[in-house]
Structures are given as structure tokens and as C-alpha cells.
Amino acid sequence: MKTQFILLTAIFLVSMNSFAEEGGYLIKSIPTDVKVYIDDKLHAEQTPYTVKLPEGKHLVRIEKEGKQTFTKEILISGNGIIKDDIKLLDMPLPCSQPANFEELLSPQRGSFEKQDEYLTRLQVSVRRHNECARLTDPRYIVGSAVLEDKNYNIDTQQFQITINWHNDVIKKRVGFCNNGVFKANRDEAKTLYEKNKERPIFLYFSFNDQTANIHINLIFLKGEKQNKFYNVAVNKSWGETLSGNLCVAKDF
């Protein structure tokens, strides 16, 4: 009987200690369809959300496409529950000027423009475009892709996609294929895949100082996390021509 009492007491003390090492965290947000990351692990895709966490510091990150990311360090103790009520702000347009693909693909030297002034203008245009594309300004989107899980090859880590090029200048002046491929490991691919969700496609340009030519250097797809991009190779082997346009092949 005494042994049983000691055993029950020990179990009770262990349970109390275990409870004391956890605390609660409740988060509410506007909008509610957000992704809640705690210590870089996805916990929820809807709020309100409540979770028990071990005592100590934890990093909370709330993300939604088109909204500014919210981050906060919280300190969990066994004394109760921490509550956060958050309103995500709209993502401001990062660039003061919209994309100008005509200027990039068909640059013209002005009548009153010296050669060095012309070259400087082109350099600035290319640099501005690349910065704004990397900041995912929606005015710099040239196409979109919907990812299908059946098109992912887990062995080669290649994700085949169909791209809808909806920028008129790009469709008119560049004969891109509508089929492409990019590489992503399994976890990244699972995160990127979301049924019927369009992923924006951007272009990255390069400038040749010697020839004063501007070239499309990279095609990239915006990832789920901030500053995460995937280089897309337009796959020529899927079809030599589409709607009479020559496919332009790009490597990874």
C-alpha cells in the first residue's frame, strides 16, 4: 500500500512538473487565413489558434501573400497564456515606377543624349527592374504558373510547370515556351504546392556594357518564404514551337 502511494505521488509530481514546463499562446489575426510559424515550423493556416509551448523564448512569424510579415519573440512561462491580436498591413509597392519592358527590350538612344548618358540610363533601368522584381512588385509580374503535384519528380527534384505569359510586351517580343521546369527538394515542393494557386513569374535582366545590349538572364518563380526564388528553365524539349513562336531555352 505504501509502495503504491509513493508511486502515485511520483506520477503526480512528474505530471505537475510537465505542466509547469509549458504555457499557452493564443493568436488572433486580421485577416484570419494566414500562416502561423513558430520557431520556423508551420503550426496553423487559420486563426484564432491556440497552442501549448515549452517554457522559454519562441519566435512567432505570421505570413500572408500581399501582406507585411509579422514577427515577434514571445516568452512562455507556466503562469498562464499569452495572447496576441494582430492586424497584418498591406505590402506597400516597393518601386515608384511600373515595369517598362519596351525600354528594356527595345532601348532607343535619345536625340539629345550622349552615349555615356545613354549607357548609364540603361544600366539604371536594368538595375531598377531587377530590384523591383526581386521585391515582387506585382507590376513586374510577367506570367503565372499553377503547380500540379503529379508533375513533381521526387528522384530528380524537378517540378514541371505550365506558364501563362500574360504580359503583352513579353508575349509579343519574346517567344517563350509555355512549359518549364525548376528544382526544389521535397519539403520545398510540398510547401509550394497548393491546388489552383497561381505562382507569379518574374524576369531578371543583364546588361552588356560593351555592346549596350540588354538580355533576359533569368526567369524565376516566387517561393513561399520571403526572398526565396526558384530559377525556371523554359524547356525546349516539350515542344519546338507554340503558336508559331520559337521556344527560347534557358538553363538552370
pLDDT tens digits, 2-36: 454 444 444 434 444 444 467 899 999 999 999 99
Q: Rounded CA gap, 218 and 39, in Å?
A: 32
Report the pLDDT value the prediction gives residue 93, as an integer from 0 to 100.
79
Question: What's the number of CA atoms in the CB half-sphere (13 Å) around residue 66?
Answer: 7
- Calculate the alpha carbon distances from 231 to 99, 130, 200 in Å: 20, 14, 12
Q: Is the pLDDT at 44 greater than 90, yes or no?
A: yes
Q: Where are the domains of the chain?
A: 23-87, 103-246
DSSP class of 107? -
Q: Residue 117 — pLDDT band, cuts 50, 70, 90?
A: very high
| Inter-residue contact 49 to 43 (CB < 8 Å) | yes
Q: What CATH class has 23-87?
A: mainly beta
* Identity of residue 83: K
| Inter-residue contact 202 to 227 (CB < 8 Å) | no
